[in-house]
């Protein structure tokens, strides 16, 4: 039996359904939450090859009229060009307002298809069927959609909540182990932000999660989604000055700088950058006297025990402290000469700090 997690927001509520074999039952799961049995499935070529047919079969069996649009895999696909191709293809056939857009794929497909759904006719019903661990525990929940521009990542976007999320953990069997670990970094992130008990559980269960034991994996996905749902419910549009949705950026200011320097060419996955970023955020917090060093040691040990990158020096490239710092100050978090960071008072106790001295950040980067 799948786990069903409710997400309750001010103007929307939906379920995240987590379990094995959900794609084969998608028709029956979607019919009650969509206004019409008409849907356009957007997927990437890798995922379509593996899971499009079972999805279309299941939708067809439940009486859905479907169509599918396939984009190339990869971050490059989150572009204005692809957005335009998709919306042209959808508008060309006089789509109706009740036709649903279904994203079948990882975060790239979810963000792009979500943005298409958010903007076409000012909003079509939207369904997320995330097929990477990262998208199951992070990007498919919370309603952020968007595409990249030459000016930066995710700069065009909209909030558009899905009608339902189907996190089919069976799809993870075909995901490369590196992508699994990258997704696991976001699970660890959620535990480190706000749930020390969850982190202790991760310490005990990581091999079963990464080894895809179905029950343990489903529980990890459920706990991470439920954490994210709580944070999003508290601050749906990221308006809070303290805490709120911004906490989900733990490790990300460092991570984004590393990603920008490595150049999004697949050598450094987002989750790998986050893994290093999490440890750097703990180091910075220890250095500034907010966090006990023993907590940093636990985080480092956990990442290393599970063969995840923990140090900048684990990467096949050297970085200049100045260049990394430049990325961070451009990362729109600079206020009045001081840097704003998500720091921790310990495992499970993240907070936003507005006055982090540049010197401390430099020292941590130079380690």
Shortest Cβ distance from residue 245 to ligand NAD (Å)? 10
Binding site residues, ligand NAD, CB under 6 A: 44, 46-47, 50, 73, 75, 78, 105-109, 111, 131-132, 134-135, 138-139, 142, 144, 154, 171, 174-175, 179, 270
Q: Which residue is nearest to ligand NAD (CB)?
A: 107
Q: Which of 46, 148, 249, 306 is catalytic?
A: 249
Active site residue 335: no
Catalytic residue among 78, 223, 256, 287: 256
Q: Given 25, 37, 270, 279, which residue is catalytic? A: 270
Residue 8 annotated as lining a ligand binding site: no
Mark whether 252 is an active-site residue: yes
**Nearest distance, CB of residue 74 and ligand NAD, angstroms:** 6
Q: Is 84 a catalytic residue?
A: no
Query: Is residue 256 flagged as an active site residue?
Result: yes
**Which residue in 1, 94, 122, 332 is the catalytic one?**
122
Nearest approach in angstroms of CB 135 to ligand NAD is 4
Query: Could you say which of 82, 189, 252, 279 is catalytic?
Result: 252
Listed in sequence order, the residues at least 6 apart from 237 whose beta carbon sits closer than 8 Å to its beta carbon are 159
Look up 179 and say whether it is catalytic: no
Tell me whether residue 110 is annotated as binding. yes
In whole angstroms, the minimum distance from the beta carbon of 46 to ligand NAD comes to 3
Q: In the complex, what is the shortest distance from the CB of residue 367 to ligand NAD, in angstroms, rounded to a whole number?
A: 26
| Cβ-based nearer residue to ligand NAD, 112 or 343 | 112
301 in a labelled binding site: no
Is position 37 annotated as part of the catalytic site? no
Q: Is 109 annotated as a binding residue?
A: yes
Residues at the annotated binding site? 107-111, 131-132, 144, 153, 171-174, 186, 252, 270
- Residues with catalytic roles: 122, 144, 186, 228, 238, 245, 249, 252, 256, 270
Residues at the annotated binding site for Zn(2+)? 186, 252, 270
């Amino acid at each position: 039996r799948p786990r069903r997690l409710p997400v309750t927001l001010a103007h929307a509520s939906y379920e995240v359904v987590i379990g094995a074999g959900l794609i084969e039952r998608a028709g029956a799961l979607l019919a009650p939450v969509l206004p019409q049995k008409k849907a356009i499935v957007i997927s990437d070529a890798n995922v379509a090859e593996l899971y499009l047919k079972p999805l279309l079969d299941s939708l067809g069996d439940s009486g859905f009229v479907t169509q599918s649009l396939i984009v190339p895999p990869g971050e490059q696909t989150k572009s204005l060009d692809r957005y335009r191709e998709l919306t042209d293809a959808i508008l060309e056939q006089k789509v109706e307002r009740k036709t649903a857009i279904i994203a079948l794929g990882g975060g790239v497909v979810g963000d792009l298809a979500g943005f298409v759904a958010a903007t076409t006719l000012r909003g079509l019903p939207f369904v997320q069927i995330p097929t990477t661990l990262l998208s199951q525990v992070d990007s498919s929940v919370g309603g952020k959609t968007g595409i990249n521009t030459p000016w930066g990542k995710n700069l065009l976007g909209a909030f558009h909540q899905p009608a339902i999320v189907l996190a089919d953990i069976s799809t993870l069997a075909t995901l490369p182990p590196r992508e699994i670990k990258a997704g696991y970094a976001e699970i660890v992130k959620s535990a480190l932000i706000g749930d020390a008990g969850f982190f202790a559980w991760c310490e005990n269960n990581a091999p079963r999660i990464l080894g895809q034991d179905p029950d343990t994996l489903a529980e990890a996905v459920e706990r991470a989604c439920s954490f994210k749902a709580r944070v999003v419910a508290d601050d749906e549009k990221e308006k809070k000055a303290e805490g709120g949705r911004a906490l989900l950026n733990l490790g990300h200011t460092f991570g984004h700088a590393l990603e920008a320097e490595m150049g999004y060419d697949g050598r450094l996955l987002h989750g790998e950058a986050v893994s290093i970023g999490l440890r750097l955020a703990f180091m910075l917090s220890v250095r500034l006297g907010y966090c006990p060093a023993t907590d940093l040691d636990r985080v480092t040990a956990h990442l290393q025990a599970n063969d995840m990158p923990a140090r900048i020096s684990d990467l096949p490239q050297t970085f200049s402290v100045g260049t990394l710092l430049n990325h961070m100050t451009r990362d729109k978090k600079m206020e009045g000469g001081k840097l704003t960071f998500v720091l921790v008072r310990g495992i499970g106790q993240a907070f936003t700090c507005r006055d982090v001295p540049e010197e401390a950040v430099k020292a941590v980067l130079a380690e």
